[in-house]
Amino acid sequence: MEYQKFISELETELDQLEIRTDDILFKAEAGISLSNKYIKQLRKKVISKGFESVDAEIKFFKYTKPQILSKLIYYAKLFSIESKRPRSSSKFQLKYLNQNINKLQQFFHDNLSFYNYYRRGASTLDELYFVRGETDIRAFTDYINIQTDIQFSTPQDITVAIIIAYDMLIVYLQQEIAKLENQYDSSKTKNMKQSSNLFWTGSKTELIELIYALHSSGAINSGTADIKEIATFFESNFNIELGNYYHTFIEIRARKCSKTKFLDRLTQALIKRCNELDE
């Protein structure tokens, strides 16, 4: 099928993205952008070409479109979950991740009739569910901003995409929980380590600017450490809670004056010290 190439191309680009970085928020942002690009291309092609038969239309909206749309939903929800994830102890992170799994599973319960229909591979109601016409707005819940025009949507294609996306998210969250549980078990034997006596007395924004500079320079672990690892290290060793440092970095990027205000000050302070010692 000619639409299959859209899926293959998107999956290739997403695979490359997965290899390129470990920064989950950057990955989610890029995944949203890529998926949205392919959805727009797909929509344009469908509206201009249409379908040769009702069966072809059903096949597209039941299988093809959801494979791409699910990626957009997955990365959008992943960004939302990870950007709000607590940066504190494993205990709070585990609670947060489990709560999100429960929320995702609640969607399956709320749409149980259709969920069972889709899961068992039924087809008797396909013309009702996957042929364009009047759209069931109740199916969209949080995804009302996704293209729901009747030229490119059916009553249940978005629901299928959400089911696929939520399955992927639950797997991701379960893996994150397993990592945290392993870390927690190993940290129990290390807890005799004395906490640091150093305290960061500058602003949180200044420390976040420094962290992103170190990450961008590749000076830590030859550039393989992700932002979360570096931020956690600084939080632990400088006894500070940085909060949502990703959003703080967005504010740094949006500065109209110098984007490296703190780094500029560090440079000036070091130059001044060297000059004073040379006198």
Residue 184: band (very low, low, confident or very high) from pLDDT cuts 50, 70, 90: low
Question: What pLDDT shows up at residue 231?
Answer: 87
Rg of the chain (C-alpha set): 24
More confident residue, 7 or 71: 71
Token couple for 26 = 């950057």
Which whole number is the average pLDDT over 246-258?
A: 80
Question: What pLDDT shows up at residue 135?
Answer: 52
How many CB atoms within 10 Å of residue 264?
12
The overall average pLDDT reported for the chain is 85
Amino acid at 19: I
Residues in the chain: 279
Confidence (pTM):
0.66
Which of 107, 206, 240 lies closest to 161 in space, CA to CA?
A: 107
Q: Is 201 left (phi over 0), alpha (psi -120 to 50) or beta?
A: alpha
158 contacts 137 by C-beta, under 8 angstroms: no
77 contacts 107 by C-beta, under 8 angstroms: no
pLDDT surpasses 90 at 143: no
The Cα diameter of the chain in Å comes to: 88
Domain boundaries, the chain: 4-188, 204-278
How many H helices and E strands in the chain?
12, 0
Q: How far apart are CA 209 and CA 193, in angstroms?
A: 28
Residue 276: band (very low, low, confident or very high) from pLDDT cuts 50, 70, 90: confident
Which whole number is the average pLDDT over 216-237?
A: 84
Using a pLDDT cut of 70, give the percent of the chain over it.
90
125 contacts 52 by C-beta, under 8 angstroms: no
Which whole number is the average pLDDT over 14-36?
A: 88
Question: What pLDDT shows up at residue 229?
Answer: 82
Token couple for 191 = 């807890």
pLDDT surpasses 80 at 138: no
pLDDT surpasses 90 at 73: yes
14 contacts 71 by C-beta, under 8 angstroms: yes
Separation of first and last alpha carbons in the chain: 76
More confident residue, 141 or 5: 5
Which whole number is the average pLDDT over 71-93?
A: 90
pLDDT surpasses 50 at 189: no
Which whole number is the average pLDDT over 29-58?
A: 92
Amino acid at 100: N
